[in-house]
Structure 1
Amino acid sequence: MSDIPSTSRGPGRPGLFETFLADNESTEGSDMDIDPSESSYEYDIPSDPFASSDSETENSAGTPRAAKRRRVAEQEAAAQPRQDDNGNPDWIPVQPPEPEADPGSRASFLPRNVGPRNAPPRNSQPISYIELFLDQELLVHMVRETNRYANAFLTDDAVIEWIREHPNSRFKKWPSNGISVVLLKKYLGLSINMGLVQKKRLTSYWSTQPSQATPYFNAVMPFWLFSLINRMIHVNDNTTEVPRGADGFDPWHKVRPILDRFNDSFKRHYVPSENVSIDESMIGMKNRIVYIQYMPNKRHARFGIKKFELCDSNGYVYHMELYAGKDFDIRHDEGQAHGVVMTLMSKSHLLNKGYHLYTDNFYTKPHLAEVLFQNDTYLTGTVRANSRGMPAEITKAKLKVGETTYRRKGDILAVAFREKQSQKKPVILLSTRFPAENVTKEKRGKEVTKPVMVSHYNQFMGGVDVSDKKVCHVAAERATHRYWVKVFRHLIDIALLNAYEIYLLNTDGRKLSRHDFLVSVVETLCTATDEVPRQATPQHHLVLLPGRKEMDCTICSDRKGGKRRRSRHWCPACSVGCHEKCAARLDHTQGSARRGVKRRVTDQDQEDSD
């Protein structure tokens, strides 16, 4: 036996080296046209291109024909439907244009009359649309809770002591019978007007300096009354609040009535169009509370309270949920994103009606698309590359500018598309509504071809962003230490936006701009018939001072004249001391009583004393 190792790969067959020599000898002096009949041996090619014998697997790994057969087999196998580990159809490549599915097998859009419903008569005044949300029942509730809180606050012992030590306190001016609905409307009207006439300080609206004066505010309501209502405003009963850590604790207890009522009224007076979107938004603030979130991609407010919104494509907010952190998160086995989408869609009553939902890559998942499709709801949205269940041919695609690649799994279609050179990675989208189809549009004088689902996503996804932009320009929000007050004002702004959207759809002819619409609302709310209440007498009465404290009697004591007379009783509302025998001569409505100045005795008082 020779010492040189044999290059043969099997018994009875020549090695690669011998085959190469034989081929060169048979083709010498020719144009390299190989005749199979002149070959040194014949290959055994099976009839089934996918079947291979043991000897072929062992011996034909390096032959050109074997490599060609392997490539053909791989291409044929790639074209065949694949299955995952559970036996379900896997992602298969598709090419545009893909025929659309049978309309009979797809869910149809059920709502027929989209837009306003239960609305005022056509061409009504702007105030009629505000009253759809800020109705009389809600205003009465807010007045009741505000007066309840004011009474509890002003009768507290610590507040009474503080008022006694500060004779000029504004709390002494609180109306004896509380505020009315008319005063609350004026307060809301001025608050809305502050979003149209923006100033940095609250007191600047009542400034008397010629260069800074805005006389309208003082003509509607004095500053002391506005600041009092602003301090006492409440929409829920604090005595029913469950402590933190106890069962039934609600982090949004202080705004729960108005939040729930607005969500109900938003759905009662509007039917959204077929294309809706879900996204998160922010109520900007930096208060020291545990609910503050940080979202760097929200340019209008990076810090604040996060909320999830379901909006129509025109910016109408259909339903919203406030986010209080992971301790109060929407629980779901498939994760937070899945739970948020299903909760908003369920509470909005939009499932099983053929709606088309658009979401961003935080929410879009293949499993969510399957669940929504089973509930007759379409889903289109961007997808993260690391999302579970996405094909590697899409998530790891290397595409040139303008290239697309499609993969389908049942009713779900995934696409990767690279639109421009500056886009390092292709954008990935998933949809249960559109087929694999490209559309050509003109952009800046050039024709641009992109997937049809990308075009529709750009058109209908921005409902929440449109809402944020419209609210931000004329927001009545102001900086405050009480976080829930800013949430309350933000909810008012959203109600004003929704009212304007209904106004646009329910008005013929020339329509007011949003600025003029709000001006009309402000002027209507601020025109009331009731006079602004001044200090009243029913709450004024003498109270025994705590301990052994005494005060100068404001009626009979005169320090300058050397006649100092002390009393164990005082009037908390006037913050002055007074003997019981002098109480009948004390005029509670005079301003001097609040400053502790001695009363001027009238002729009638002198007669009574005699």
Structure 2
Amino acid sequence: MASRKRSFEQSFDLVLQSASERETEPDALSDTDSSSEGEVDSRSDFSVEDSSSSDEEVTHEAHHAGGERPTHSQPARLSGHGGHAHGARQVPFAQYAADVYNWVAPAMVQPVIPPFSGEPGCKANTDGFLPVDFFNLFVDDEFFYGMVQQTNLYAAQFLRKHDGNLRPRSRALQWSPTSVAEMKTFWGLSLLMGIVRKPSIALYWCTDPSLATPFFPAVMSRNRYLVLQRMLHFSDNSAALPRNDPNYDKLFKIRPFLEHFTRRFSGVYVPGQHISIEESLVLYQGRLLFKQYVPSKRAQHGIKVYVLCESNTGYAYSMRVYAGKYCNINPPGSPAYLGVREKIVWDLCSSLFNKGHHLYVDKFYTGIPLFKELHSLGTLACGTIHSNQKGFPKQLVCKKLDKGACAALRCEEVLAVKYCDRRDVHMLSTIHDESTAIVAARGHAEQVSKPKCILDYNRYMVGVDRTDQLLEPYHPACKSRRWYKKLAIHIMHVATCNAYVVYRTAAPEHKMSFLQFENAVANALVQVHVEAAPIGALETVARLNERHFGEYNPPTPNQTQPYRRCKVCTKQGKRRDTRFYCPQCPSKPALCQCPCFALYHTKEKYWEIE
């Protein structure tokens, strides 16, 4: 048994020796990920390239026994905020690919934790703000004006393109230019549809008393809402590049919308020390080139969005939309040797470097080169990792552990941990040491010992889950085949959630729930346009469910006993005047005393003659 162990150790040493002697040209190395094929889209800064292999990351430079890095003559690499905090150097890509790490026993070495220098909270003065004022921090009149301009432009282009080809009764022929007030009403009604859930949009204008919602038809007609949804647009189609152009942007349809909210999300609020990155999936079941299938998500099929959130509140600080494997991401200041997944992390959190944030990620993003680079930029990280990840110590992976036991190795600032629970869990951290804590076992009375890095990971890796938990019960309905409209509805909903986080931070004494907050925002948006609309109960609901009594028509300046045309008789094609009307009905219709008054208040289709 001992000879077999020595044989294994000798073989492992030979593998390490051959790896360190292998020399590869920088141009010859590339990501081995199956999804990294194709040309780079230089315009798509928001789209990222997906990958499924766990071996795309390359190893960092080797460390000598004394723990010092070899010096290089290359110039310092600049970050997105002016450079590395600790003098990080540009190391040739081949150097990282060929070297291995020197993993040693951790010996309870305490990691160097830079102080947190951020100022979390809202940057704006919010004294005396109403809920809609918090929402306006992200969505102002200028944003609505740009949306109105693009919607009117697209409607004109659509009608000009289909001139003579539309059906006579097509809703598009009823189009008239929209305005900022009407666009706010459209979005207010869309948010209310998430609170008042119905199977189809048409049911919000249903006249059936058992299904009616009087507020919607009182504010905007069904046809107007649907034609606004049909013409809703965010960019000029005439400025789009051809699809066969190498610089074609797959997110062109929604690019201005994304750029606006990316600036506002990061410009209004500063997250706390603990942040996390995870994927969110926007439900979409239509045909789309970059549609994703994620069985662990509730939607399973849809558009994948990478989101950086504050762990404690779920505030979405930055987000990037996955646009297919042929779209690459190359954020400013990112090292060339980082893989696609690591560049996603770099792109999302580059504006938070050198502030002492603690970042938590899952195994999709975790890599030793990334964690070392983040550490040199004053940002510590912790996350799960694949056991076959390049650079992760094999001696730790091969070590057999009893349930509840853990083992760890350290390579300078990076700690590798293996913990045996129901299955083996592998962690990588620059925040923690190998210490453990006693916690209660889930579903059992006894207590167990767990590494602190796992406990903190479970505690802070919940930012996106908090956001999804708030949004899911009130997600607006959008029955559209256009993917970018569904994505726009989702991002607008996320903006409402962010506004609620800012509201709770600025006014912690307020006890308004997210449902109440969103309802207040939607009502305020609708109220801009609703003044010209007839407010009151829906006519059908009022006349069939309330007790009404007829009266004489009120006198006018010209007549003391005026006559008016009967509504029921007019609907039946007859002309008959009457002195009576119903003052309790919203429209105050004139009705013959017999039998029209009874028909109008007892039959839904009062004009039908039996």
TM-score (norm 1): 0.68
Q: Out of 366, 369, 372, which is 2:371 matched to?
A: 369
Q: Is the 8 A contact 1:126 1:503 kept in 2?
A: yes
Q: Is the 8 A contact 1:182 1:530 kept in 2?
A: no
Q: What secondary structure, in the 3-state scheme, does the structure 1 residue paired with 2:287 have? A: coil
- Residues 86-97 of structure 1 mapped to structure 2, 5 A cutoff: 86=62, 88-89=64-65, 90-94=102-106
Gapped runs of 5+ residues in structure 2? 21-61, 66-101, 331-335, 535-610
* 2:219 match: 220
The answer to whether the aligner puts 1:162 opposite 2:165 as a matched pair is yes
Q: What secondary structure, in the 3-state scheme, does the structure 2 residue paired with 1:121 have? A: coil
Per-residue deviation, 1:99: 4.7
- Residues 484-563 of structure 1 mapped to structure 2, 5 A cutoff: 484-529=484-529
- Runs of 4+ with >4 A deviation: 84-87, 529-534
* 2:275 match: 276
Q: Is the 8 A contact 2:201 2:477 kept in 1?
A: no
Give the % identical residues: 33
* 1:114 match: 120
- Residues 130-529 of structure 1 mapped to structure 2, 5 A cutoff: 130-156=135-161, 159-163=162-166, 165-166=167-168, 168-175=169-176, 178-298=177-297, 300-313=298-311, 314-330=313-329, 333-346=337-350, 349-419=351-421, 423=422, 425-443=423-441, 445-529=445-529
Q: What secondary structure, in the 3-state scheme, does the structure 1 residue paired with 2:163 have? A: helix
Gapped runs of 5+ residues in structure 1? 1-61, 535-610
Q: Is the 8 A contact 2:292 2:303 kept in 1?
A: yes
Cα 1:530/1:407, change in 2 over 3 Å: closer
Per-residue deviation, 1:533: 9.8
Per-residue deviation, 1:403: 0.4
Q: Distance in 2 between matches of 1:213 and 1:193?
A: 14
Per-residue deviation, 1:115: 1.6
Cα 1:475/1:412, change in 2 over 3 Å: same
Q: What secondary structure, in the 3-state scheme, does the structure 2 residue paired with 1:449 have? A: strand
| Larger CA deviation: 337-346 vs 326-335 | 326-335
* CA displacement 1:263-285 (0-9 Å, x = unmatched): 11111111111111112221111
Per-residue deviation, 1:330: 2.1
Per-residue deviation, 1:396: 2.2
* CA displacement 1:10-52 (0-9 Å, x = unmatched): xxxxxxxxxxxxxxxxxxxxxxxxxxxxxxxxxxxxxxxxxxx
Q: Distance in 1 between matches of 2:271 and 2:484?
A: 29
* CA displacement 1:238-268 (0-9 Å, x = unmatched): 1111111214321111111111110111111
- Residues 564-603 of structure 1 mapped to structure 2, 5 A cutoff: none
Q: Distance in 2 between matches of 1:500 and 1:182?
A: 23
Per-residue deviation, 1:236: 1.2
Q: Distance in 1 between matches of 2:523 and 2:178?
A: 20
* 2:602 match: none
Q: What secondary structure, in the 3-state scheme, does the structure 1 residue paired with 2:164 have? A: helix
TM-score (norm 2): 0.68
Amino acid at match of 2:492: I
Q: Distance in 1 between matches of 2:365 and 2:529?
A: 51
Q: Distance in 2 between matches of 1:532 and 1:483?
A: 33
Q: What secondary structure, in the 3-state scheme, does the structure 2 residue paired with 1:516 have? A: helix
Q: Distance in 2 between matches of 1:87 and 1:143?
A: 58
Per-residue deviation, 1:447: 2.3
Per-residue deviation, 1:138: 0.2
Amino acid at match of 1:146: T
Per-residue deviation, 1:321: 0.7
Q: Is the 8 A contact 1:263 1:320 kept in 2?
A: yes
Q: Distance in 1 between matches of 2:277 and 2:196?
A: 32
Q: What secondary structure, in the 3-state scheme, does the structure 2 residue paired with 1:503 have? A: helix
Q: Distance in 1 between matches of 2:210 and 2:533?
A: 30
Per-residue deviation, 1:106: 4.1
Q: Distance in 1 between matches of 2:265 and 2:132?
A: 16
* 2:90 match: none
* CA displacement 1:396-445 (0-9 Å, x = unmatched): 232111101111111111111123xxx1x310101111112111123564
Q: Is the 8 A contact 2:185 2:529 kept in 1?
A: no
Q: Distance in 2 between matches of 1:354 and 1:140?
A: 39
Per-residue deviation, 1:528: 2.6
Bigger relative contact order (CA 8 A; separation at least 6): 2
Aligned length: 440
Cα 1:291/1:529, change in 2 over 3 Å: closer
* 2:588 match: none
Per-residue deviation, 1:468: 2.2
Q: Is the 8 A contact 1:323 1:329 kept in 2?
A: no
Amino acid at match of 1:452: K
* 1:16 match: none
| Larger CA deviation: 392-401 vs 517-526 | 392-401
Q: Distance in 2 between matches of 1:325 and 1:462?
A: 26
Cα 1:109/1:87, change in 2 over 3 Å: closer
Per-residue deviation, 1:170: 2.3
Q: What secondary structure, in the 3-state scheme, does the structure 2 residue paired with 1:499 have? A: helix
* CA displacement 1:181-203 (0-9 Å, x = unmatched): 11111100110011011111110
